[in-house]
Structure 1
Amino acid sequence: MRALIVSDSHGLTNELVVLKDRHMTDVDLLIHCGDSELIHNADEMLQFISVRGNCDHDQELPTEQVVKVGDKEVLITHGHLYNVKMTLMNLNYRAKELGASIVCFGHSHVAGAEMIDETLFINPGSIRLPRLRRERTYAILDLKDKNASVSFYDINGTKVDSLTTEVQFT
């Protein structure tokens, strides 16, 4: 099972279309973690499972969604309601409440993936305004049995090897 994860596109449209076109045949799921600044039914957002971020005004977008990816429950949220710029503790508690073993979020614009208390946290960074690095990034999650690999790519599709993370669920 493969999922493309993007966040914080802040009004970009062509880039979302390019990402969809580039990966549509090699991913099973498209996830947008909020701050698209587009309406939920904008052509560019079609096919994305998306949530509302602090810069989104479309009330049709939920603040969080839980989806099944393979045999894992995945919590998708923007992160602003959980204070993710300061700590992942609140988001970790929410994941536990919902039985999610993977969390996709944005808000901080800082790309990274890490395992905390048996939960995989993935922030794809931002394809518009990255922080702590130059590359405008998105992520691809590969799930096979108990193994997960998170690969990061810049907006041009070049892999950012230094961010790649591999974990194993117990």
Structure 2
Amino acid sequence: MAKYTFVIMSDSHGDRHIVQEIKDRYLGKVDMIFHNGDSELPASDPIWEGIQVVCGNCDFGDYPDYLVTQLTDLTVAQTHGHLLGINFGFEHLDLWAQEQDADICTYGHLHRPAVWKNGKTLFINPGSISQPRGEINERLYAMVTIDAKKAKIDYLTRDHKIYPALSQEVRR
């Protein structure tokens, strides 16, 4: 398996500046950039060129609800999560990820960073880049590096510094 690096952000809620800053920092330097919805920006905004973006419950326009990105040897399933009822549990998200045969499933909506694995699928919520919720009150996005043996997940703050308490490696 090849080695891939992704940047994942979500729930920017109208803060175009931070989306542009992350895009400018990483476009062309990582394999993919994902935005998991609730940008509150128009779907036609040129900011989305080079970013895989899905619709959140606060978005309007021609965004897809779900995206599945197939790389040579890796499948990434992406959604905001609200349509799968993640406020009430992860069963529907897990089932959808299994249906996609996803290696990685990334989602947003909860504004809380999370990493967990079920079967072969690694689930990643990058938290919110603008409006965090829960016990970790830090505006975050995620950097994921994955190869055949492991995935390394680092959470970064808006000033692009690693938030070390959340960094982890997960065996594949």
Q: Percent of aligned pairs with the same residue?
A: 35
SS of the aligned residue for 1:75 comes to strand
Deviation at 1:46, TM superposition (A): 2.0
Deviation at 1:70, TM superposition (A): 5.1
- Aligned twin of 2:64: 62
Q: What is the alpha-carbon distance in structure 1 between the residues aligned to residue 30 and residue 151 of structure 2? A: 14
Contact 1:70 1:143 survives alignment (8 Å): no
Q: What is the alpha-carbon distance in structure 2 between the residues aligned to residue 168 and residue 157 of structure 1? A: 25
- Aligned twin of 1:23: 26
Contact 1:40 1:61 survives alignment (8 Å): yes
Q: What is the alpha-carbon distance in structure 2 between the residues aligned to residue 145 and residue 41 of structure 1? A: 36
The number of residue pairs the alignment matches comes to 168
Structure 1 counterpart of 2:127, from 125, 128, 131: 125
Contact 1:114 1:165 survives alignment (8 Å): no
Alignment pair present for 1:105 and 2:107: yes
Deviation at 1:26, TM superposition (A): 2.9
Structure 2 counterpart of 1:164, from 150, 162, 167: 167
Contact 2:11 2:130 survives alignment (8 Å): yes
TM-score under structure 2 length normalisation: 0.92
Contact 1:73 1:101 survives alignment (8 Å): yes
RMSD: 1.3
Structure 1 counterpart of 2:76, from 69, 74, 92: 74
Contact 2:27 2:50 survives alignment (8 Å): no
SS of the aligned residue for 1:8 comes to coil
Q: Structure 1: which 5+ runs fail to align? A: none
Q: Structure 2: which 5+ runs fail to align? A: none
Q: Deviations over 1:114-148 (max 9, x none)?
A: 11222111000001110122210000111122321
Letter in 2 for 1:6: M
